[in-house]
Every structure is written in C-alpha cells, then in structure tokens.
Structure 1
C-alpha cells in the first residue's frame, strides 16, 4: 500500500525534488497491533528535519491521520514516511517550489529480526566512509548513496551489519543501525555531531539508560575501542535492539545491559 499526497498510487512527478536532488527526509517506523511504535517521536523527527532543511507548509495534521490510517490496517509491518520539497524550482533554487510531497508506504516486517536478536549480530568493517557535514548530521535525509555503497560491501561479507567509520577513521554507526558498547557500568556511543543518523531507538535507549542509572558517553573513537568492550549492541526502530556477538575479530558474551532493557519490556522485542 502506498499513498502519495493522500492518494493510493505508485507514480511520482519526475520533477519532484526527491528525484532531482534527493531533497527531502524520511523516517521508518514499526507497526505493531495496528499502531505506529513511537508515533509522536517519528512525527517530531520529521518536523525537525523539515525545519533544518527549510521545507515548509507540510500538512502535519493530514500526515498524522494518514500514518494512523495505514497503521490501523496492519498487524506487524513497516511504515516508511517520506517528505520531499515537492516539484518546481529552477536548478538548486527552492524558489518556485510547490507544496511538499507526502509519500507513505507499508511493507512486511523483516522476518529475520527475532532470530537475530536470539543469535546475536556479527559486525564487519567496510571501507566506504561517511563524509562530515554538521549541517546535515543526525538527519535521515534522502541522500543515502553512502549507505547504498556500504550495503553493497556488506552484502559481500559474512556479517549482519557494518562497522561504519568517518573519513578520520572514527566509529560512527552501522549501515542501518546505531552502535553502543559497554565497559563496566559505562555505556559509549559515537558522537554524531559531524555525520551519521541519530536514530529514534538510539534516543530512546539513551533515555532509558539514564533512568536505569547507566551513564552514556558520546565519543569519537577508532574501532580499537571495541577491543576491550564487555558488551556491544546495535539498534534501530525496527530491530529494535540486537546484541552483538562479534565485531571484526573481537567477540562478546555478556548481555547484561541488553537483558536489563528487554526483561519485562516488550517495546525492545
């Protein structure tokens, strides 16, 4: 099922700036029992991205209604919401653009995630780096060519996710997930002020960790930081949380923090 500006269709104007320039943003949400998990947070994320990208006049009330309507028709699925600047403008200029375009689509929930949570993920380093740009850092914008190349590398490796670095060789994230590791009672996650996607699961994990008394440090470190970690985890809005059993040659057995988050907490499963 796909809606473009509220109409069930699969055709997009070729002059839409999503096609011309990747001019827009998106979020990917899980649907459970007919509702969007972290619904308000996904809307807030889109609003923040539109504000920073200077995409104006999005009909947020209509978008909210469309998200709820599509979700109500699903039990366990994935909802992707894209907002583009719309069609128009000359060259790169925003002047003359029409109203933003709303694109919503549903897909089946990935069947491999439950088994991956049980087995644990393997991470492999890839050579494609993320370029630094503090203006776009954190946003899930439509320019995803870096991730496309990273995924192509990952597909050729015996691994479940990628260890992605910036151009200085520092840890940033995975291909489609955020990264955490634990040493003792201290949690670490890469600083995303220069590049990377600040995922909603990452945000939610940080909030819960602080509530549970686990301090979180935002760091710029090389992959060697994982050599003496007690525990490594990855997360995104769909997984939503997966323990890591191996990152390159480093192996991990502890699931202490993972179990604390997931025990009697259905939202992480």
Structure 2
C-alpha cells in the first residue's frame, strides 16, 4: 500500500506526469529502529531536485512528518518517496498541471547487503553507457531507463555491481551506487556534473573526509584509474558503504579507508 497525498491507497491517475513523462524525482532511505537515517539529507535532495525540475512542491513539513510516521513501526526497512509534478495536460507543457503529488511506500530491506558488507563485492564493467546531460545530472529524477538496461545486463553477469561509463568513456557510478577509490593518501570519486546521481551517502562521505582534513578529488577518469588504486568502495543510502574486492580485473586487499568510514556511515 502507498501513502499518496496523505491517503493510503494504490491508485494514481493515468494522466499523472510521473507515468506520462517520468516528470518527478525520488529518494530511497534506510529505516533503522523506527528512524530514517540521514533524513535531512533526503529532504534536501528532494528540494534540490524539485528546484531543478521546476516542480512547485512546498509541503516539506507535511512530507517529513509522513516519512517519520511511516518509519516509526519499522525495525529495518526501505522508505521510498516520490514527488510527481501531478496530473494535467496532454502534451509536454506543465502549464495545465495541478498540484504536485507525494507518494510514499515502505518495503523490506535487501538481505544481500549484509553478505556484501562481510565479504566485499566484485564490480564488472557495463556495456551500457550513460548519456551526458548537465541539466539533469546529479539529481534522482524518475527517468531511470539507463539503470533498467544496466541492471538487466548485470543480472546476466557474475558480478555484484558494475561500473558505468558515460558516452565519452569516463566513469560515472555503479548501477545503484556511487564509487570511490584511494591511491595512497589521495581519495577520488567520479564527477557527476554531466550524468549520474550525487547520492546522499556520497555527499555524507565527502563531508566526513573533509572534516578529517582529507581532500576528495572529483575527477573525470577512465576505468584504468582503478588499476593504480590501493582500495575502492561503493556506497548508497541503503548499503550504506561496502568494500570492493575486485573491480574488473584488479583485486584489492586494503580496506583502510573503508574501515575508517564504515562506522561513520551507519
């Protein structure tokens, strides 16, 4: 069951813009012991996305209260929040749209993350390239067909996750996670100013490292940069951080930075 504009229901008008055009944004949060981890980060993400997409959503206090209420009875679960521009109009123009629609749902927590965290993960290299679009880069909008193709390919391979490149051959992220690597004392992560998602955990990790006086270099780098790395890890709001055992053909034994960051991400 979904909570749609404050009512528990499972129906959405067929002319809702999220269905018609993918016109909206979303975030996915981890619930632990009845509380949403990094709630303010998720609200900020939605606010930034609505601003970028010109969606006039203003009910932030109501949304935060609904998120908290849905989380309260959950021990370990996943909360997804979608904001749609709403219904109205046949064509692309948003001029005839009604009020934005908020959609909340709770689902079970992925059990495989515990195994990944204990053993680390193997990353492949996706053949699916991400398009370059600076206007949409960074935000988590509802147009996720690239991820659908990436995930479909990944499910046929023998890897846990996969590295995704943009159309210029530069690393962007994984299918459902951001990527970091360390070379000596230097920490790197791909730039997400032309494609990809600036994840809430990515932002948190960068802020934590900055507080520790470490510089995180946001770079455009080809996959061969991982050949020189001493360690690598991936992150998202649910994992929240997992060490990489092998990326493409490169194996890693160090978990120095991962070990430092892991308790700060819980």
| TM-score category of the 2 structures, normalised to the smaller one | over 0.9
Structure 2 counterpart of 1:24: 24
Aligned partner of 2:166 in structure 1 is 166
Deviation at 1:116, TM superposition (A): 0.4
For normalisation by structure 1, the TM-score amounts to 0.97
Match of 1:230 in 2: 230
Deviation at 1:62, TM superposition (A): 1.3
TM-score (norm 2): 0.98
Deviation, structure 1 residue 90: 3.3
Equivalent residue of 1:162, what SS?
strand
Aligned residue number for residue 247 of structure 2: 247
State the distance in 2 between where 1:195 and 1:148 align: 16
1:41 offset after TM fit, Å?
A: 1.1
Any stretches of 5+ residues in structure 2 without a counterpart? none
User: Given the alignment of the two structures, is residue 71 of structure 1 paired with residue 68 of structure 2, yes or no?
Assistant: no
Q: Secondary structure at the match of 1:127?
A: coil
For 2:63 and 2:185, how far apart are their aligned partners in 1? 41
Give the deviation of 1:61 after TM superposition.
Answer: 1.6
Judge conservation of contact 2:201–2:265 (CA < 8 Å) in 1.
no
For the residues of structure 2 that align with 1:26 and 1:159, how far apart are their CA atoms?
27
Q: What corresponds to 2:208 in structure 1? A: 208
Alpha-carbon separation, structure 1, partners of 2:252 and 2:265:
20
Q: Quote the offset at 1:60 in angstroms.
A: 1.3
Equivalent residues, number: 266
Partner of residue 157, structure 1? 157
RMSD across aligned positions (CA): 0.9
Displaced runs of 4 or more, over 4 A: none
Helix, strand or coil at the partner of 2:234: strand
Partner of 2:3: 3
Shift of residue 260, structure 1, vs aligned partner? 1.1
Counterpart contact for 1:58–1:99, Cα < 8 Å: no
Write the distance in 2 (CA, Å) between the matches of 1:268 and 1:172. Answer: 21
**222-231 or 53-62: which moved more?**
53-62
Equivalent position of 1:144 in the other structure? 144
Could you list the per-position Cα deviations for residues 103-140 of structure 1 after superposition, in whole angstroms to 9, with x for gaps in the alignment? 00000111111110110010000111110011000010
Query: Helix, strand or coil: the match of 2:167?
Result: coil
| Deviation of 1:89 (Å) | 2.2
1:116-195 equivalences in 2 (<5 Å): 116-195=116-195
Question: For 2:174 and 2:193, how far apart are their aligned partners in 1?
Answer: 16
Deviation at 1:158, TM superposition (A): 0.4
* Mapped partners of 2:186, 2:15: distance in 1: 49
Q: 1:112, 1:90 → 2: CA distance?
A: 42
**Superposition pairs for residues 42-81 of structure 1, below 5 Å?**
42-81=42-81
Decide whether the 8 Å contact of 1:147 with 1:175 is kept in 2: yes
Q: Is the 8 A contact 1:29 1:80 kept in 2?
A: yes
Contact 1:23–1:84 (CA under 8 A) maintained in structure 2: yes
User: Do structure 1's residue 268 and structure 2's residue 250 form an aligned pair?
Assistant: no
